[in-house]
Chain A
């Protein structure tokens, strides 16, 4: 689903027609719900998570696993489920996209809940969803102001 000018035009066309948009969003919901357990947050992070949906995590963590993952990879809240981030790690590593998990994911905009992430993506609204953590800003205080040296 590449971002092309054709898809951008299609997305604008769909968004401009409420009935069509509703139909389109329902189709997206049905396909992504059955495939990924999609929660329709409207700002899909899955391209950067090995297609494991972080919104299915009980804490909706978008930047990696919590510290409560069981030794067998079980979710701490629902032990019968596997941690979504264990899956994301396996899948993205398997697909050669391990570095994707190092991206800093920005907070979710809850106004987009229930809206089409495809329409948003094709129109370039997802460009600021994440950023490269290897080029941080001024850096933490200790480093910058205190000259911390490792023991």
Chain B
């Protein structure tokens, strides 16, 4: 027996429509209103939202709880699940819960190391890695068995997502690493911030050579750099984010009060370039604290808000497309 969860993201990808997803960081606090407010800003504009799992190893409301709140607010959730805080027992039980709650998409990733977050003294788990967690999810869904080999009574039916960073060394291994995740079971992948479209296209070329594009939808991560301070943080303090020199020059070349607008314009141009790139299934907007600016970015990039879908409370949304924004440093 399988729990049926149709899912907008799934249908949009199936139809070959350019999807939009966005990242929604759950709040630090038992604050349902914070999720609802951000959801309201994105409703109608995205096909799905990623609810991050203690992003950057900082304590936040659990992704699964935020997913339920997002569903109630009419957005299709992508539940992020990291290996940082869970062994294989907890991973499986959370995946089963996601199935039971009709969360239509899960996204498995290794996760940031606790050293980089707000509890650096915490014990890292990393019982499985991101590839193995993806594998576990696919086995659970398609074969209906736990890692122990025991059958499960009702199979979940979520779509399985993954992440990749095309810009981190060893660059030549990045396409093949995604190939492993796809072999393990990834249906779609969301990437780290794309600021360098040239390098990104080379990676897409590797994926085409490996036959990955037929088997896995590639959703490119984008986001606006809204201040020189944010630019410096991205360049020096966020490992794995590559900001090319021409982007740096462009942002530094405008008056201080124009940096935010220039960053948004850059993001809009990147979305347009990606949309014109064969093999890109959609964009994933990461704009932490700037969720309200996402509609403007999409509108200026020529993507219309046709994704409005009054979702049924508690799940099974009916509408057309899924947009998910995967955020901060999670493309790993």
Contact = CB atoms under 8 A, between A and B. Distances in A.
A71 B329 CA distance: 15
B240 A67 contact: yes
B215 A68 contact: no
A107 B13 contact: no
A102 interface: yes
Q: Chain A CB within 10 Å — which of B88, B135, B164, B182 has the most?
A: B135
Nearest to B177: A64
B180 A133 contact: yes
Interface stretch (A8-16, A17-25, A83-91): A83-91
Interface stretch (B43-51, B111-119, B249-257, B304-312): B111-119
Interface in A23-79: 58-74, 76-77
B209 interface: no
Contacts of B185: 140
A107 B127 contact: yes
Q: Chain B CB within 10 Å — which of A104, A105, A142 has the most?
A: A142
Contacts of A5: none
A68 B168 contact: yes
A69 B13 contact: no
Contacts of A151: 16, 18, 278-281
A77 to B, nearest CB: 5
A141 interface: yes
A106 to B, nearest CB: 7
Contacts of B279: 150-151
B142 interface: yes
Count class of interface residues, chain A: 35 or more
B293 interface: no
Contacts of A77: 113, 115-116
A148 interface: yes
A105 B135 CA distance: 10
B190 to A, nearest CB: 11
A71 B170 CA distance: 9
Contact of A142 (B141, B177, B187): B187
B142 A146 contact: no
A21 B186 CA distance: 42
Interface of B: 10, 13-14, 16, 18, 83, 88, 110-113, 115-116, 124, 126-132, 135, 138, 141-143, 147, 159-160, 163-165, 168-170, 172-173, 176-177, 179-180, 182-188, 192, 208, 213-217, 239-240, 242, 278-281, 329, 331-332
The list of the 5 closest CB pairs from A to B, nearest first, reads A67-B332, A67-B165, A76-B239, A63-B131, A68-B239
29 contacts: A59-B110, A59-B113, A59-B124, A61-B126, A65-B169, A65-B173, A67-B164, A67-B332, A70-B239, A73-B170, A76-B239, A86-B170, A89-B172, A90-B170, A104-B131, A104-B184, A106-B132, A107-B88, A133-B179, A140-B138, A140-B160, A148-B214, A148-B215, A148-B217, A149-B16, A150-B213, A150-B278, A151-B278, A151-B281
